[in-house]
Amino acid sequence: LGIPEDEIGIHDSFFDLGGHSLSILRFLARTASKSWNIGIKDFYSHKTIAALSQQIDQGPIRQEQTSTMERTMVRPPKKPNLNFDSTSRKLGKVLLTGVTGFLGAHIAKDLLDDEEVQVYCLLRGESVHECIERLEARFDHYFGELSYKYKREIGVRLHLIPGDIENMQWLKQFEFPKFEGIIHAAALVKHYGDYEQFYLINVKSTDNLLQYAQAHNIPFHYISTMSVSGGRTSQASTKFTEECYDIGQLLEDKVYLKSKFEAERLVLLAMNQGHNVSIYRIGNLTGRYSDGVFQPNIEENRFYARLKSFIEIGAVSTALMDTQVEFTPVDCCVTSLLKLISLHLESGGGIYHLYHPYNLTVRNVAEMLGHLNHSIQEMESEHFSNHLAQLSLTAEGQELLMGIVGDRADRDAESENPVLQDNRYTLEVLSRLGVEWPDINIDYISKIVSYMTQTGFLSNRDKRPHLNKEMSNK
């Protein structure tokens, strides 16, 4: 943190001293050789030096299912009878939250591509002018030369409303038209922090919008995440299909996932009461299939940070080579999402799993990267760990480790009861709607890497340390 030692007490809060997620990663990178077995979340649950020290002394503790979460028995209803002829009906007027986010901006774009659609967006801000500036900056980033096409719709077919989604007052301050649908895509998507903040933004806002939708008989479309399936469960390994909700996921210390799980419970309760509400669980969103463009705060995305580290380190552990890797291009995801939303303008609500159905393995990705002049060597696990420990001893090496140090200490990753995600029902419905997912091939991976390089996130010079050939399998 750059603070003199004599000005820090062992009972001072890391965050009160100016600590943040990036400084946590730097700390973990510098101490990677220590085998302390602490991760990012430990800094939020043990905020002082004294508490962290005690956690380090105790070592890793296997977490059992001792959740205090409200596990109200709620089950998804039976799948609705779908009217595939209803997709010809236009959306008309839509209320959209999260428009400045990566997914929300692309939803707005595709909605505005239909000249008969009016989009009303709630943005955090003190004034309409402030909201316009924020939105135009995001449109410029995402859509480049085409951004003018969407910016000129502001005040015409794109209506901006300043307010906070967790505050019900904004819904009472405006005279809204009759909406054909509410798409709730706003969320606090960080994986660490205080749960109270996640509850307000991710759960309370959902409750507010649900109440409004129910009072005005408006179809409600909730954007969730496939991660609510959990990395592991307290039960035997199980599939997580569109008909699943509570399978004993261990989410107590995963603040983001816990909040999305709680929000889904509210939506499911409304669904079971007969309201037209739907849930869309989104997979691992990646850059556009057309050109690889990704979110501006790319360094905050765990998947991209991990990919950057492995490319710049130039090596992967043998133990990881068969691990599956999911790429769900945002533009393809939005195409599928809006097709499903149009299906539910009249049909009862449904639950869908929107992610690319065909995963690559780390080995597949490594081979493609090799063809793109980013060779990735396979190393025995022990040698790989020793190599990372050596990297942690230098400032440049620590920079290379930033994307993976948090994962290495995540003890929940070692799961005896992994959850197996399933989206066959969603694929069947999309097939009936004429939607197919494109191949994740070397051309697409090239676009991802090119975008990472063009933005300066991935170095265009070889920073990789020398690898001892005796330590490599290949």
pLDDT along the chain (474 residues), means of 10: 70 71 66 66 72 69 47 68 66 94 97 96 88 96 95 96 79 80 93 85 94 93 94 71 88 86 95 93 98 94 93 93 95 96 81 95 96 94 87 83 67 60 94 94 98 91 54 48
Q: Tell me the CATH number for domain 1-58.
A: 1.10.1200.10
Collapsed DSSP state (helix, strand, coil) of residue 225: strand
Q: How far apart are CA 42 and CA 39, in angstroms?
A: 5
H helical segments located in 115-254: 128-143, 147-151, 169-173, 195-198, 205-215
Parallel/antiparallel/unpaired status of strands 324-325 and 360-361: antiparallel
From the CB of residue 136, how many other CB atoms can be counted at a distance below 10 Å?
15
- Cβ contact 182:95 at 8 Å: yes
Q: Considering only CA atoms, which of 314, 323, 311 is closest in space to residue 361?
A: 323
Q: What is the pLDDT of residue 231?
A: 72
For 131-137, the CB contacts below 8 A with 24+ separation are 131/160, 131/161, 131/162, 132/160, 134/100, 135/99, 135/100, 135/160
Topology (CATH level 3) of domain 90-298+326-354 = Rossmann fold (3.40.50)
Residue ranges per domain, the chain? 1-58, 90-298+326-354
Q: What is the pLDDT of residue 374?
A: 95
The beta-strand segments (E) located in 348-461 are: 351-354, 360-361, 377-379, 419-421
For 41-46, the CB contacts below 8 A with 24+ separation are 41/191, 41/192, 41/253, 41/254, 41/410, 42/409, 43/14, 43/19, 43/192, 44/192, 44/193, 44/194, 44/255, 45/253
Both tokens assigned to 268: 């499911």
Q: Is 94 exposed, middle or buried (0-12, 13-18, 19+ CB in 10 A)?
A: buried
Q: Is the pTM of this model over 0.75?
A: yes
Q: Considering only CA atoms, which of 279, 427, 408 is closest in space to residue 349?
A: 279
Q: How far apart are CA 193 and CA 372, in angstroms?
A: 37
